[in-house]
Amino acid sequence: MTADAATRTAAALSIGDRQIELPIVHGSDGDDAIDIGSLRAETGLITLDPGYGNTGACSSAITYLDGEAGVLRYRGYPIEQLAEHSSFLEVAYLLIWGDLPSQSQLDHFVAEVTHHTLIREEMRHFFDSFPADAHPMAVLASGTVGMSTFYPDSQNIFDADAVEVTINRLIAKLPTLAAWSFKKAVGQPYVYPRNDLGYSSNLLHMMFAVPSEDYRVDPTVAEALDLLLILHADHEQNASTSTVRLVGSTHANLYASISAGISALWGPLHGGANEAVIETLEGIVADGGNVQKWVDKAKDPNDTFRLAGFGHRVYKNFDPRAKIIRSAAERVLAATGADDRLFEIAQQLEDVALRDEYFISRKLYPNVDFYSGLIYRAIGFPTNMFTNSFAIGRLPGWIAQWREMMGSKESRLGRPRQVYVGPGARDYVTIEQR
Ligand code: CMC
């Protein structure tokens, strides 16, 4: 921001020979905004911004990102430092409660989350009733809203104690729901949580242990999963977070709001991209490994194909999460001994795309999803479980954003307007006369 922009307090808007002033709101870092709250009342006009690329939906003190400089911070802390030093549950606490916890605060939070990991036994039948090939995201979204049936206290969205227990239950139980959706798909017995394990280790245990064998969590793998969850934990007003806020703005309970966020995350333009990346890489290998051919396909204006894992609405330089994930992928592949042809292809693809004028001029760089799928794959996750894991990671961010909205004086029912372009008023025509 220029010094001039930093001191501006109002923007002038001319419409014909009328001029009005709209206040400028200053952020502590990053974008400032023109407050258009009085625009319609004063001018009869609204703004039009499909995809909301220029629209700030709220003020938020949770996550800062600078897409041009490739900066991402949670509550002020750089993602690189959190990735190196923190744990997922500590990051969850930071996002939700606003600051890094003291040791006793962290111990209390971890104990609360750990003691809520079981889901209600009746929910076993819930899993039984889905077809075996159900997509785990569908099961996770349904299971999440389904939990509100067991916890009616979650309706008390203005009761701080009820909200806190709902938060702890959600963070504790989402891995159990996710792992059981996988067990259902592979026809194995559901594995109960083990509260002596850490958060990520417990998820791995519930996914990969079977009653007939001893299963030991590989610490390198658990560490890599924890890292992925940290990198996914929040990303300001993305599609799923905006969904959580919008549903939450109706005063629906937290389970309902989070379930809606999970559904939004499922799409291949959002969290589902990590699944699409692996499908693309597998397609390239099956097609003989001709990377250039697939890059050309992505550039072809007559082909709807896009290179999944490339491009971002906000990052126009590089995605800092992708950098961290790429080196983690190298470590995990080395540790698990996975001979991964897909990793080689991914590196070639990145190389070719980053030297290609099409990608350079459109500022399309690898995003968080480009390498995350390769780590999930090396860990042993089937492709359709990747986005489930993303949802577990994003959960603290959704919760933090929901809490912030519920406590903010500026929040009101989310209800965009439209520019109507349909037919004018016309009289009903009976079916015989049509
Ligand atoms: N491959 C080929 N061309 C692309 C790609 C891509 N991955 N992404 C954007 N473009 C082109 C697009 O066709 C357009 O070209 P033109 O100007 O000639 O019409 C230009 O780049 C701008 O694209 P856009 O769709 O207007 O940009 P957007 O900000 O609306 O879209 C995006 C952002 C993430 C949806 C898009 O880059 C994309 O579809 N990427 C692939 C899916 C993906 O990786 N999604 C995960 C995003 S990060 C994690 C998350 O948010 O969950």
Span 79-123, pLDDT tens digits: 999 999 999 999 999 999 999 999 999 999 999 999 999 999 999
Which band of pLDDT confidence, cut at 50, 70 and 90, is reported for residue 4?
A: low
Centre a 10 Å sphere on the Cβ of residue 419 and count the other Cβ atoms it contains.
Answer: 9
Active-site residue flag, 312: yes
Minimum-distance ligand 1 atom for the alpha carbon of 270: 52
Query: Which pair of tokens denotes residue 53?
Result: 């690329």
Between CA 187 and CA 193 the distance in angstroms is 18
| Angle at CA of residue 82, ends 76 and 87, nearest 5° | 130
Burial string for 198-218 (b: 16+ CB within 10 Å, else e) reads bbbbbbbbbbbbeeeeeeebb
Over residues 357-383, the mean pLDDT reads 90
Q: What share of the chain is helix, strand, coil (3-state, %, to 5)?
A: 55, 5, 40
Which band of pLDDT confidence, cut at 50, 70 and 90, is reported for residue 6?
A: low
Q: How far is the CA of 344 from the centre of ligand 1 (A)?
A: 23
Locus of tokens 């590089």: 318
Q: Which residues contact 142 (CB under 8 A, 6 or more apart)?
A: 126, 130, 259
Over residues 342-367, the mean pLDDT reads 91
Q: Percentage of the chain with pLDDT > 90?
A: 79
Angular region, 30: left φ>0, alpha ψ -120 to 50, beta rest: left
Is the torsion defined by CA of 241, 375, 319, 343 positive or negative? negative
**Which pLDDT value is given to residue 181?**
93
Q: What is the per-residue pLDDT across 177-222, written as a single tens digit (0 to 9) for each? A: 999 999 998 999 999 999 999 999 999 999 999 999 999 999 989 9
Residue owning the nearest CA to atom 52 of ligand 1: 270
Considering only 78-92, 136-150, 305-319, which range has the smallest mean pLDDT? 305-319
Q: How far is the CA of 277 from the centre of ligand 1 (A)?
A: 13
Q: How far is the CA of 252 from the centre of ligand 1 (A)?
A: 32
Between CA 232 and CA 274 the distance in angstroms is 12
Q: How far is the CA of 310 from the centre of ligand 1 (A)?
A: 7
Among 364, 387, 388, say which to mutate for ligand 1: greatest number of ligand atoms within 8 Å of CB: 364
**Which pLDDT value is given to residue 2?**
55
CB < 8 Å & 24+ apart, contacts of 25-29:
25/59, 27/59, 29/64, 29/66
Which band of pLDDT confidence, cut at 50, 70 and 90, is reported for residue 227?
A: very high
Locus of tokens 């850490």: 198
Q: Which residues contact 151 (CB under 8 A, 6 or more apart)?
A: 166, 169, 255
Q: Spot the catalytic one: 312, 340, 351, 427.
A: 312
Query: Which pair of tokens denotes residue 23?
Result: 């206040």
Q: How far is the CA of 25 from the centre of ligand 1 (A)?
A: 29
Q: Which residues line the pocket of ligand 1, CB cutoff 6 A?
A: 238, 269-271, 273, 298, 306-313, 362, 364, 367-369
From the list 250, 236, 96, 243, the residue with the least C-alpha distance to 166 is 96
Among 291, 305, 367, say which to mutate for ligand 1: greatest number of ligand atoms within 8 Å of CB: 367
Between CA 392 and CA 105 the distance in angstroms is 22
Considering only 222-231, 326-335, 346-355, which range has the smallest mean pLDDT? 326-335
Minimum-distance ligand 1 atom for the alpha carbon of 265: 52
Q: How far is the CA of 373 from the centre of ligand 1 (A)?
A: 18
Question: Phi/psi at 302 (nearest 5 deg)?
Answer: -90, 5
Among 269, 277, 361, say which to mutate for ligand 1: greatest number of ligand atoms within 8 Å of CB: 269
Considering only 84-93, 110-119, 146-155, 271-280, which range has the smallest mean pLDDT? 271-280
Between CA 373 and CA 385 the distance in angstroms is 10
Residue owning the nearest CA to atom 46 of ligand 1: 270
Between CA 241 and CA 281 the distance in angstroms is 28
Locus of tokens 């701080």: 160
What CA–CA distances, in Å, run from 359 to 27, 71, 195, 305, 366?
31, 21, 47, 14, 10
Active-site residue flag, 108: no
Contact between 381 and 207 under an 8 Å Cβ cutoff? The reply is yes
From the list 22, 35, 26, 36, the residue with the least C-alpha distance to 3 is 26
Burial string for 82-100 (b: 16+ CB within 10 Å, else e) reads bbeebbbbbbbbbbbbeeb
Say whether pLDDT at 339 is over 90. Answer: no
Q: Which residues contact 362 (CB under 8 A, 6 or more apart)?
A: 311
pTM score of the predicted model:
0.92
Among 305, 306, 386, say which to mutate for ligand 1: greatest number of ligand atoms within 8 Å of CB: 306
Over residues 61-85, the mean pLDDT reads 96
Q: What is the per-residue pLDDT across 347-357, written as a single tens digit (0 to 9) for each? A: 999 999 889 99
Query: Which pair of tokens denotes residue 128?
Result: 């039984």
Say whether pLDDT at 416 is over 60. Answer: yes
Query: Which pair of tokens denotes residue 286?
Result: 């099956």
Over residues 304-328, the mean pLDDT reads 89
Minimum-distance ligand 1 atom for the alpha carbon of 310: 7
| Angle at CA of residue 80, ends 234 and 353, nearest 5° | 85
Q: How far is the CA of 312 from the centre of ligand 1 (A)?
A: 6
Centre a 10 Å sphere on the Cβ of residue 418 and count the other Cβ atoms it contains.
Answer: 8
